[in-house]
Chain A
């Protein structure tokens, strides 16, 4: 399964047990993408890291 990068339109491979919310890195432009839906496969640019994100 692949998704289309929303920034550079490269094809991005999805991991086997991919699920919604998963993060992908576009191999071409390095954009971090978030899987919004699996049927049909929909990705968006992942939200920027927020100030209180972390461990």
Chain B
């Protein structure tokens, strides 16, 4: 019997909500801790199953998706989507190719070049690790001295941090927007308000409902057209009457978004994943 398998390595609220949502829809579901599993030619599960990959580590999640896809197993989101969303520079390049509005960005590979890139972009600007989340290691850089210090320190953090990803700082007021897209359809959005310039709800940003309109929905559909995936969590800024796409997440967290939007996000996600099963 086909089964929806929700894979995790760290059980978050989201994974429990996803399982409960599957049970409510009578979808045969298993919540599987894959921390101690090894993978090879031996099939991980039935060919008719479908995987909802929710490992908290991006690299592990992408690795699991890749190896299961090599076994012919359907994975949500596909590893190709993870590969784009898991690297902010890759995401920005994909959005740029598609002509989707986003903050200006620069990249450099040495602290000196990064400072020059930032001088070109103008202050203030934001430096982010290409692979990171939850607002971790973001740096708002207001002047050249700070740039020199931040880039030098970042260069000591290891290889991945020597690809400097620098983004225009957007005066977004006191909030940004997180929107959820399932199977290409925008289903709901929240504003995340914070006195701090980092608005992640993981860092205390307060969520409230943002009704979707044609304008934002059009932007969200174009993001999905560009990146694909059954479940995307898209972060946007509003600047001078336009939406700018800041980031696209393939493993979106939504615990703080269900109540304000009144949208059963986990139900939509498991339904979308279940519809991807081969035998459907």
A residues adjacent to B (C-beta < 8 A): 17, 19-23, 34, 46-47, 49-55
CB <8 Å contact, A21 and B11: yes
- Give Cα A19 to B29, complex, Å: 15
B61 to chain A, nearest CB (A): 9
Q: What's the Cα separation between A23 and B27 when bound, in Å?
A: 25
In the complex, the answer to whether A22 meets B59 with C-beta atoms within 8 Å is: no
- The answer to whether B133 and A53 have CB atoms under 8 Å apart is yes
Partner of A17, one of B16, B57, B58, B249: B16
Contacts of B149 in A (CB 8 A): none
With A17-B16, A54-B134, A55-B253 known as contacts, the answer to whether A22 contacts B58 (CB < 8 A) is no
A54: contacting residue among B8, B16, B35, B251, CB under 8 A:
B251
Is B153 part of the contact surface with A, judged by Cβ < 8 Å?
A: no
* Residues from chain B with Cβ under 8 Å of A52 in the complex: 57-59, 86, 131-132
Asked whether any CB of chain A lies closer than 8 Å to the CB of B31, the reply is yes
Whole-angstrom distance between the Cβ of A41 and the nearest chain B Cβ: 15
Q: How far is the CB of B182 from chain A (nearest CB, A)?
A: 15
A residues less than 8 Å from B9 (CB atoms): 21
CB distance from A26 to the nearest CB of B (A): 17
If A52-B131, A53-B134, A55-B251 touch, whether A21 touches B58 (CB-CB below 8 Å) is: no
**CB of B70 within 8 A of chain A?**
no
Q: Which positions in B face A, CB cutoff 8 Å?
A: 8-12, 16, 31, 33, 35, 56-59, 86, 129, 131-134, 136, 160, 233, 249-253
Tell me if A21 and B8 are in contact (CB < 8 A). yes
The reply to whether B251 and A51 form a contact with Cβ atoms under 8 Å apart is no
A46 to B56, CA, bound (A): 13
Instruction: Look across to chain A and name the residue whose beta carbon is closest to the beta carbon of B33.
Output: A21
Contact A19/B11 with A51-B160, A55-B251, A55-B253 known, Cβ cut-off 8 Å:
yes
Give the docked Cα–Cα distance between A19 and B59 (Å): 24
Contacts A19-B31, A21-B33: A54 and B11 contacting too (C-beta < 8 A)?
no
Which residue from chain B places its CB closest to the CB of A20 in the assembled complex? B33
A55–B249 touching, CB < 8 Å: yes
- A51 / chain B contacts, CB cutoff of 8 Å: 129, 131-132, 160
In the complex formed, the residue of B with least CB distance to A21 is B11
Asked if B133 contacts A54 (CB within 8 A), the reply is yes
Tell me which of A22, A46, A52 has the highest count of chain B C-beta atoms within 10 A of its own C-beta. Answer: A52
Measured between beta carbons, the chain A residues less than 8 angstroms from B10 are 21, 23, 34, 46-47, 53
Instruction: Given A17-B16, A34-B10, A53-B134, output 14 extra A-B contacts at Cβ < 8 Å.
Output: A22-B11, A23-B12, A46-B10, A49-B134, A51-B132, A52-B57, A52-B59, A53-B133, A54-B134, A54-B136, A54-B251, A55-B233, A55-B249, A55-B252
Query: Are the C-beta atoms of B33 and A50 separated by less than 8 Å?
Result: no
A-B contact pairs, 6 of them (CB 8 A): A22-B11, A22-B16, A23-B10, A23-B12, A34-B10, A54-B249
Which residue of B has the minimal Cβ distance to A22?
A: B11
Task: Please determine whether A50 and B57 come into contact, CB atoms closer than 8 angstroms.
Answer: yes
